[in-house]
Amino acid sequence: MKGAQQVAKAPPPHGQGVSVSLMGRTIQQPTGRLESPRGVGYDGAVRALARIRPLVDAWVRVIAAFGLLNLGLGAVHGALDANWLWLGLAADGDLGPLVVSAFALAVLGWPYWRGRRPAAIAARVVIGAVALACLVDAVGYFRVLSVGAIRTAFPVPLSLLSGLALGLWAWRPPPPAERRVVARLALHGVAGALWIGGLVGSVAVTDYARPADAIVVFGAAVWSDGRPSDALRDRTRTALALYEKGLASTLVFSGGHGAGAPISEPEAMRRMAIEAGVDPAHIVLDETGANTAATVAAVAAMARDHGWGPVLMVSHDYHCARIKLACVRHGLRAYTVPAVEPLPLAGKPYYIARELAAMAWYWMHPLKTVRRVAAEGRGP
């Protein structure tokens, strides 16, 4: 008799399926949930990765766009290329721009390369090579951490996360996009915010304190009765601890003069330092440091005038990444030290959110730096 006939059998163990006779052929049809021979934990990890995979892919595209935009800024002036933030030493030298360009082209052009086998293989090789460069940078980070040259509260460098994301892309490139345009834009917006947060956070949690020629403290509010705010106390006390350790013999207090405050921020810090026993001859005041850019510009000028080499920059953790970016743009060899907080600052979540926006704004609006660098006649 022609047609399909099902052969009745005893129920199989869970996950083994049932035998079905179809057009004279016997096939095995699975029933229930099949488990991987590697175990339930492995299956759970795979499912979790599948859920976050769209965000990982968006993260990789954000990195590619970040790299491409930095190349554009670097074409205006070499000091503006900030690809060192995520690629490390691989971004330096003559090959750096070529590597970043090839990587950005491979990622952002993937919808075009996907259907062209030779081009797709070449793109995956390029992405894999950049992933390897990120992982090599992460190894260097752990080596420096192991010898105590840096200290951190979260020993996971951004280069490690980036390398793993790029490696996943190179291993299994994303399928064609199925989400609507609005959903895709929202996803990439989230990935962009996470990327900026990663840039800020990776510097924020790291203490780069080491011997230097000067310790620079960024100002914060002074109250109407002349008392320094908690933020200003934290920064000044951290700088004084570095001074007492002998890491530098010069303290630079930089800040402005807030409305209603009887004294300026640098003067408030100077008084704290003298009360702590610091020789006034070792203190330099910068009354022009009304903002981050102004402080860094003033310190860069001091460094040129006095022949300073490395300097330590003390501020709160969320502020350190923007300080580092500003210092690199000014050709200043600087190492950030996050202020020690006996108690968390009131309103710190707001300060962190504000800093994320400030970091993006500062990175995308470097024209003042370009004009200043050009006026000073300095190279990148």
**7 part of a folded domain:** no
**324 part of a folded domain:** yes
pLDDT in tens, 304-349: 999 999 999 999 999 999 999 999 989 999 999 999 999 888 889 9
* DSSP H helical ranges for 77-116: 84-87, 95-108, 110-113
The total number of structural domains in the chain stands at: 2
Instruction: Give the model's confidence band at 92: pLDDT under 50 very low, under 70 low, under 90 confident, else very high.
Output: confident
Q: Is the pLDDT of residue 376 over 80?
A: no
Q: What's the rounded mean pLDDT across residues 291-307?
A: 95
- Domain extent for 324: 208-376
Residue where one domain finishes, among candidates 206, 229, 250: 206
**148 part of a folded domain:** yes
Where does residue 198 rank: exposed (0-12), middle (13-18), buried (19+ CB within 10 A)? buried
Where does residue 331 rank: exposed (0-12), middle (13-18), buried (19+ CB within 10 A)? middle
Q: Is the pLDDT of residue 380 over 50?
A: no
Contact present, 270 and 301 (Cβ < 8 Å): no
pTM to 2 decimals? 0.82
Amino acid found at 321: A
Helix (H, G, I), strand (E, B) or coil at 368: helix
Residue where one domain finishes, among candidates 182, 206, 230: 206
Q: What is the pLDDT at residue 42?
A: 63
CATH number at residue 358: 3.40.50.620
Q: Are residues 167 and 286 located together in one domain of the fold?
A: no
Q: What is the pLDDT at residue 366?
A: 62
Q: What is the pLDDT at residue 85?
A: 86
Q: Is the pLDDT of residue 76 over 90?
A: no
**22 part of a folded domain:** no
Q: Are residues 96 and 238 located together in one domain of the fold?
A: no
User: Distances in Å between the alpha carbon of 87 and those of 40, 140, 157, 349?
Assistant: 36, 12, 11, 28
pLDDT in tens, 160-172: 999 999 999 999 9
Q: What is the pLDDT at residue 369?
A: 53
